[in-house]
Structure 1
Amino acid sequence: MIRIVEGDLLEQRVDAIVNAWNRNIIPWWLLLPQGVSGAIKKRGGLQPFRELARVGAMPLGSAVVTSAGQLPYQGIIHVAGINMLWRASERSIRDSVRNALARAREHSWRSLAFPVIGAGSGGFNEERALNLLRAALEEDAAGFDITVVRYRRPDR
């Protein structure tokens, strides 16, 4: 089941959330996390990012699991959805989805919440990124309960 909602990724009732991250080349403490990463840092603390730092450079489209810090999830799946020029591509979005689902299967998580990978810092058109995300999920997400969250500021 794939559901698309508007709201806040960190308010979803799921086993794990997906964080659209970078390739982890620049140390996390030098970055000013934005979007989902910034919200995770603000509400969940630094622990997930400390764990992610130990992983080192991530191949584009790969996925890594960390704890959820102070958030109420079983874990966070961080995907390397943008390249070193801070841009997403069709391939990075598809690979990020495929690898996030693989990590979820390894942990026996059945419900996941995804942001629209590539649409924020990745500079990808949101509708196009959403269509790619949905197509990748339809190919590989059998047996999962998936929520795709289109972020909307509360003042909208």
Structure 2
Amino acid sequence: MVRVVEGDLLDQRVDAIVNAWNRNILPWWLLLPQGVSGAIKRRAGYQPFRELRRVGPMPLGTAVVTSAGRLPYQGIIHVAGINLLWRASEQSIRDSVTNALARAREHGFRSVAFPVIGAGSGGFNEARALEVMRSALEAGAGGLEVTVVRFHRK
């Protein structure tokens, strides 16, 4: 089941959330907290990002799971959805979704919440990103409960 809601990714009642991340080339401590990653850093603390640092550079479209720090989730799935020029593409979005779903299954998560990958810092059109994500999710979600969260300020 795939549903799209408006709200805050960090308020979803799921097993894991997805962080639309860069390719892990720049150290996490050099990046100014912004968007999804910034919200996660503020509420989860730095532990998930310290774990992510150990992974090293991530190929575009890949996904890695870390702990959730102070957040109430079983894990955070970090996807490398934007390239070195801070841009997303249909392929990077599709691959990020596919790999995030694979990591969710490997870790036994039953439910996962995604932001709209590529539509923030990645500069990709939100409506088109949502279309690409829906297509990839419908093809690969299987038995996972999936929520895509369109950010909405309270």
For normalisation by structure 2, the TM-score amounts to 0.99
Q: Which amino acid aligns with 2:9?
A: L
Q: Which runs of 5+ in 1 are unaligned?
A: none
Aligned length: 154
Per the alignment, residue 88 of structure 2 pairs with: 88
Q: Which runs of 5+ in 2 are unaligned?
A: none
Counting only pairs closer than 5 Å after superposition, residues 63-74 of structure 1 correspond to structure 2 as: 63-74=63-74
Q: Which amino acid aligns with 1:103?
A: R
Q: What secondary structure sits across from 2:109 in the alignment? A: coil
* Mapped partners of 1:103, 1:88: distance in 2: 20
Q: What secondary structure sits across from 2:98 in the alignment? A: helix
Per the alignment, residue 100 of structure 2 pairs with: 100
* Mapped partners of 2:119, 2:134: distance in 1: 13
Counting only pairs closer than 5 Å after superposition, residues 1-156 of structure 1 correspond to structure 2 as: 1-154=1-154
* Mapped partners of 1:86, 1:153: distance in 2: 23
Q: What secondary structure sits across from 1:5 in the alignment? A: strand
Q: What secondary structure sits across from 1:95 in the alignment? A: helix
- Taking only the aligned residue pairs, the percentage that are identical comes to 80
* Mapped partners of 1:128, 1:104: distance in 2: 24
- Deviation per CA, 1:96-155, whole angstroms, max 9, x where unpaired? 00000010011111100000000000000000000000100001001010000000111x
Q: What secondary structure sits across from 1:18 in the alignment? A: strand
Q: What secondary structure sits across from 1:92 in the alignment? A: helix
Q: What secondary structure sits across from 1:112 in the alignment? A: strand
Please report how far the alpha carbon of residue 33 of structure 1 lies from its aligned counterpart in structure 2 after TM superposition. Answer: 2.3
Q: Which amino acid aligns with 1:126?
A: E
* Mapped partners of 1:7, 1:133: distance in 2: 17
- Deviation per CA, 1:31-56, whole angstroms, max 9, x where unpaired? 01211100010011000000001110
Q: Which amino acid aligns with 1:116?
A: V
Q: Which runs of 4+ in 1 moved over 3 A?
A: none
